[in-house]
Amino acid sequence: MTVSPQAKFETVVDGIHFGECLRWRDGLLYFVDMYGDVVKSFDPATREQRVVGEVFHPGGIGWLPDGRMLAVASEDKKVFEVGAEGNEPYVDLGAVAPGWTNDMFVGRDGRAYVGNFGYDLFAEEMRPTQLIMVDTDRTVTVEPGELGFPNGMVRRSDGKLVVAETFAPGLALFDVGADGHLTPAGRIDLDDDLTPDGMCIDAEDAVWFASVLTQEVVRVDVDGNAERLPVSQNAYACM
């Protein structure tokens, strides 16, 4: 484990209630303001911000192959198609998600994988839970593999899905079948004090995640070597 010196910071967007789930697409940075109840885009060239959707307590976002945006409504346990003209229900996960839904990964094939708390974060002890797959026909399946508060997700170039476990500090690995279903494929253990949340991946297949309670961003390569970069406040997502 390597601890890097304090990084340099520049504030590019402020006034956010609770920023989460950052994504790059077509040169724009998209993110949710969870307690501002909006999905926004930011143009780094012009510094322009734009509200691209309104969702109650939005979580993970992603895009279907035809360009439609999906957004998780965390407390309502639903996924919506989101647009400037309004929202259309996409799928209701209330029957299968034991806790609030949170982050989501949407693959290039249009299959979505949605995490959930697994329990009442505000009143209960942590219980493991499982990812939910939403197939292209909107069929919902609870996938195998118990996770301790699944959060950010990325897909490596070898096809494996990597999932942050916030309260069981580690990165869970899954093989993804041709039908989209998941098979547990190992785990990268992390230091016990880390709390991995939102994630992204770089050109070398290394995973970057925000560690909330330690105020860090951490890079973990495919061999499990980690580099910890302190930041100036609690970090919930990185891109």
List, for residues 128-176, the tens digit of each pLDDT value: 999 999 999 999 999 999 999 999 999 999 999 999 999 999 999 999 9
Rounded to the nearest 10°, the torsion over CA 31, 139, 153, 98 is: 90
Supply 188's token pair.
Answer: 């990268």
Q: How far is CA 156 from CA 2, 111, 163, 222, in A?
A: 23, 16, 11, 9
Distance CA 199, CA 196 (A): 8
At 172 the three-state DSSP class reads strand
Taking the model in full, what pTM does it have? 0.94
Bridge-based pairing of strands 2-3 and 226-230 is parallel
User: Over the stretch 165-208, which tens digit does the pLDDT of each residue have?
Assistant: 999 999 999 999 999 999 999 999 999 999 999 999 999 999 99
Q: Is the pLDDT of residue 42 over 90?
A: yes
Residues forming beta bridges with residue 194, ordered by sequence position: none
Question: What is the pLDDT, as a whole number, of residue 121?
Answer: 87
Write down the residue that tokens 């012009």 correspond to.
46
